[in-house]
Chain A
Amino acid sequence: MSSGERTKIVITGMSGRLGRVVARRLHRDERHALIGLDRRPFPGRPKDIEHHQVDLRSKKARDVFRAGDVRALVHMGLMHDPRASTAELYSWNVSGTAHLLEYCQQYGVKKVVVLSSADVYGPRPDNPQFLTEEAPLLAAQRFPQMRDLVEIDHLVSTFFWKAREIETVILRPVHILGSVHNAPSNYLRLDPTPVLLGFDPMVQVIHQRDVAEAIARALAPGARGIYNIVGPGEVPLSVILSELGRRTLPIPHPIARPMWSLAFRLGLSSYPVAELDFIRYVCMVDGSRAERELGFRAKHTLRETIRAVDDRAEW
């Protein structure tokens, strides 16, 4: 197949750790021509990957779509920096997403895949053990920091109904582990790892390469809808920490909150205090729809997935 017939896929956030894993997976398929959109540079990328170091909200981002023939958008370029101002985060994440969706509709993109997160349901004491895609997105009730993510998820769901000619897929993966720099992986790399005394919730994890695989499947023609993406199974948090050989630092939860918020303000911790609920209550999802409709099943075992947080970066 000549390069002229390759289908163009725009990937936002491609320079990030997870972005590179996804790019690498999609690059394997020679029918794909990848175009990165990211504020950050992408050093060492293969020559046939196009990269635009631009702001998602800028005219240059629109130009990438205007050039034509973009078949699909993979949107994973959300900013999570807990120290950025909420206005800046909102503008980048929510307005940025709204702009991208507008370009897709305007320039005839056929497929939109948005990487949301199972965190949008929110960890709660009265959660059922496994939440389905129909469960309400309650994370923002207790987590102001999650509001953007919930709002984006809603924005894309609305787009799913509004732009019926576009195949829209929302993926809500569980905690992604690997060389990625996301909150769960960073947390598991702490040693000793702070935990809440007397709490040991069941958690779900997924290997970063399995997430890339789920995205690849979501790009297949015909796939559309909202999917929880789960890994190989469920384990207590304590089992993950002992598998990684971490020492734990149990803190009684009434003093954990003030300690944590002090540490955050002093710059010793990068976890907003509300995220403590993720190591206190369950927030697990049912991934059977993705298995049924996308044929997705995580390939990495639990042990491989857990150990992946100590892996070195890919590419």
Chain B
Amino acid sequence: MADPPRDDIGARTRALAVRRNEYGYDPFGLNPDHLRTAVRLARWLYRSYFRAEARGVENIPVSGRVMFVSNHSGQLPFDGLVIGAATFLEPSQPRLVRSMVEHFVPTVPFASYLFARWGQITGTPENCRRLLERDEAILVFPEGARGISKPFSKRYQLAPFGLGFMRLALETRTPIVPVAVIGAEEQAPALNLKPLARLFGTPSFPIVPYPPFVPIVPLPVKYRLYFGEALQPAGDPDDDDEVLEAQVRAVKHRIQSMIHMGLRERKHVFW
């Protein structure tokens, strides 16, 4: 198939390798009509609002299973959206990235099914395994909630990584593409009010020093994405945590050094 033009969302959606049934849905609830709408919004955020730049696009595999592993920040997961937009818009052949949504999302009206229509899935190891076995692309933030809710003072310092993604990669023999996101860490310079978080029983309670004081609208920072060369972890998925930790550290260092490079390269947060 000829390469679809860079920003032609219709052609790019058609070029996606999605298995659909007679009603146009894939088993995870993805529907291309819904996806097109979401990608239009994502493209606007990617091109106009965040004016994102992506380096190392050639490291995004054209096909086959892959796990994108990235730093996570910014109070709201715009970093996931921007990575998804990059893999959809930038390579010669679009890749649809499946990211994991939190377990409370299926209990929220509309979000419950819209995320599924856009190809996003409930974050369980079983779902990841199944998608990787179908040779799909998934996005993992090993910092998890610790990363996204980190306060402004901790920007660009990676929170501890979980080990689950490494076990999964070893088990399914999936290459890992490390990703560094520069910009998201400044999109919502937040303080974490721990007493309020405890009061409301949420993992964090971020506030920002400008109206509306809760980080709903991100600042129009400039996003810079760095896709690193794929790593192929080798070993036994049932190894002890210490053995896996060494492999996880390698991935973490790779991301951290790309972050340092990106921070050196950039002249300003907003342009």
Q: Which residue of B lies closest to A253 (CB)?
A: B109
Residues of A participating in the B interface, judged by any CB pair closer than 8 Å: 125-130, 132, 196-202, 232-236, 239, 243, 252-253, 280-282, 301-303
Q: Which residue of B lies closest to A252 (CB)?
A: B109
Q: Taking the complex as formed, is B233 at the interface, i.e. its CB lies under 8 A from any CB of chain A? A: no
User: In the complex, what distance in Å separates the CA atom of A235 from the CA atom of B113?
Assistant: 12
Are B124 and A234 in contact, with the CB atoms below 8 A? no
Q: A233-B21, A239-B25 are in contact. Are A128 and B126 (CB under 8 A)?
A: yes
Interchain residue pairs A-B with the least CB separation, the first 4 = A198-B109, A128-B126, A125-B106, A200-B113
User: In the complex, what distance in Å separates the CA atom of A201 from the CA atom of B28?
Assistant: 10
Chain A residues in 8 Å Cβ range of B23: 235, 239, 243, 302
Q: Taking the complex as formed, is B59 at the interface, i.e. its CB lies under 8 A from any CB of chain A? A: no
Can you list 22 A-B contacts with CB-CB less than 8 angstroms, sorted by A residue number? A125-B107, A125-B122, A126-B106, A126-B122, A126-B124, A127-B122, A128-B127, A129-B28, A129-B122, A198-B108, A198-B111, A202-B27, A202-B116, A232-B21, A234-B25, A235-B21, A253-B109, A282-B106, A282-B122, A301-B22, A302-B21, A302-B23
Residues of B participating in the A interface, judged by any CB pair closer than 8 Å: 21-23, 25, 27-29, 103-113, 116, 121-122, 124, 126-127, 130
Are A236 and B113 in contact, with the CB atoms below 8 A? yes
Are B103 and A125 in contact, with the CB atoms below 8 A? yes
Chain A residues in 8 Å Cβ range of B112: 198-201, 280
Are A125 and B22 in contact, with the CB atoms below 8 A? no
Q: What's the minimum C-beta distance from A289 to chain B, rounded to whole angstroms?
A: 14
Are B21 and A130 in contact, with the CB atoms below 8 A? no
Q: A129-B127, A199-B112, A282-B106 are in contact. List 5 more A-B contacts (CB 8 A).
A: A125-B105, A127-B124, A239-B23, A239-B25, A301-B22
User: In the complex, what distance in Å separates the CA atom of A200 from the CA atom of B115?
Assistant: 11
Chain A residues in 8 Å Cβ range of B106: 125-126, 281-282
User: In the complex, what distance in Å separates the CA atom of A127 from the CA atom of B110?
Assistant: 18
User: In the complex, what distance in Å separates the CA atom of A201 from the CA atom of B105?
Assistant: 12
Q: A127-B122, A128-B124 are in contact. Are A236 and B25 (CB under 8 A)?
A: yes
Are A234 and B109 in contact, with the CB atoms below 8 A? no
Q: A129-B121, A199-B112, A200-B113 are in contact. Are A235 and B25 (CB under 8 A)?
A: yes
Chain A residues in 8 Å Cβ range of B107: 125, 281
User: In the complex, what distance in Å separates the CA atom of A198 from the CA atom of B112?
Assistant: 7
User: In the complex, what distance in Å separates the CA atom of A128 from the CA atom of B25?
Assistant: 17
Are B29 and A236 in contact, with the CB atoms below 8 A? yes
User: In the complex, what distance in Å separates the CA atom of A252 from the CA atom of B116?
Assistant: 20
Are A234 and B29 in contact, with the CB atoms below 8 A? yes
Are A202 and B22 in contact, with the CB atoms below 8 A? no
Q: What's the minimum C-beta distance from A303 to chain B, rounded to whole angstroms?
A: 6
Q: Which residue of B lies closest to A199 (CB)?
A: B112
User: In the complex, what distance in Å separates the CA atom of A129 from the CA atom of B28?
Assistant: 7
Q: Which residue of B lies closest to A128 (CB)?
A: B126
Are A128 and B116 in contact, with the CB atoms below 8 A? no
User: In the complex, what distance in Å separates the CA atom of A301 from the CA atom of B29?
Assistant: 18
Q: What's the minimum C-beta distance from A175 to chain B, rounded to whole angstroms?
A: 16
Interface centre among A126, A232, A280, A281 (most CB of B within 10 A): A126
Q: A129-B28, A129-B127 are in contact. Are A234 and B21 (CB under 8 A)?
A: yes
Chain B residues in 8 Å Cβ range of A234: 21, 25, 27, 29
